[in-house]
A and B are shown apart, each in its own frame.
Chain A
Amino acid sequence: MTVPALDPLIEFIRSTRMSQIFRDEVGWLWPLCESLHFLGLSLLIGAAGFFDLRLLGFMKGVPLRSVKRFVPWAMVGFAVNLLTGLIFFISQPQQYATNLAMWLKVLFLLVAGINAMLFETSYSDRLMALAPDAETPVSAKVIGAVSLAAWFAVLYFGRMLPYLDPNPRSGV
């Protein structure tokens, strides 16, 4: 994907002192952030996936309320990955800004985020009041399925990023 309009932005980010430090002066920063990004994704998918599976109707008898106590851990994983992801982007913006896989990843991040917000604002209270043994309603199952699918899509487009849209400018 080429988006010439983004070139000045890419050049600007690359020219900042922060980008230069990340890229050229701290050799171990990239592998460190990659390691943290992988740990963060495991924590995020483990904790969010656990709650999603409960919404889908697995582990009946376990109160939704107590499974939800894992959600803050998913947020910790997300925060780690947002921070390390920003470091990747600031270091090498040309690898990401015009990469179609990156934008699809962002799209699915938005899907996961909006889905979670919708859950919090419109369904959470009602579902939390559900008896532990009760069948989860269709709305809960849809939200759980969308969340699970969206997070795995985020992982897919993240990992496939170098291959789905090989960027002719990478390695600048």
Chain B
Amino acid sequence: MAFFTWLQDTPFAHWVASDPSLLAYPTILTLHTVGMAIVVGTCVVIDLRLLGIGGDVPLTALVRAPRLVWTGFVINAATGLALFTTDAEHKATQKVFFVKLSLIFLALGVYARLRKLVFRTATPPAASISGEVKALAVFSLVLWTGATVAGRLMAYLL
């Protein structure tokens, strides 16, 4: 706990939390939303395609998607840490925050598995999509929805 108290009291945390500049808290928060749109948006597009309800785009169109997911994730890890410092003592004990983190890591795990199954096979992506892949795509949609809702609820739940 002492660590979080110290973290919350660093000059950086004070700057993020209370500097009147729009570049502090507001911009960091907005970048966190931009990163979310990139990560969740890209994963949802992939899931919809794998479920066959996003049209007939060749799966090869999506082989570069990992770069987008990775970029969004880095933005959100960085901005998320900065936002965490402003309220570290509280967030370190906030249940819904741990729910959010768990859902994100599960969703990223599912995404890594999908990548391996669909995009990293030696043969070109198959025309027919296996039941396992479809199940993982549904799981991914559920997890990203949950993570987004949990993130929003951090502003409401203790």
Contact = CB atoms under 8 A, between A and B. Distances in A.
Contact of A35 (B43, B45, B60, B152): B152
B64 A59 contact: yes
A134 interface: no
Given A35-B153, A42-B44, A49-B41, 6 more contacts: A31-B156, A42-B37, A43-B44, A47-B44, A58-B64, A70-B54
Interface stretch (A109-117, A123-131, A138-146, A154-162): A154-162
Interface residues of A, number: 33
Interface of A: 31, 34-35, 38-39, 41-47, 49-50, 54, 58-59, 61-62, 66-70, 73, 152, 155-156, 159-160, 162-164
Interface residues of B, number: 35
Interface string B124-158: 00000000000000000000110011011101100
A66 B45 CA distance: 13
Given A45-B37, A46-B44, A67 B57 contact: yes
Interface of B: 22, 25-27, 29-30, 33-34, 36-38, 40-45, 48, 54-58, 60-61, 64, 144-145, 148-149, 151-153, 155-156
A70 B36 contact: no
Q: Is the interface of B mostly helix, strand, loop or mixed?
A: helix
Contacts of B40: 39, 42, 46
Contacts of A31: 152-153, 155-156
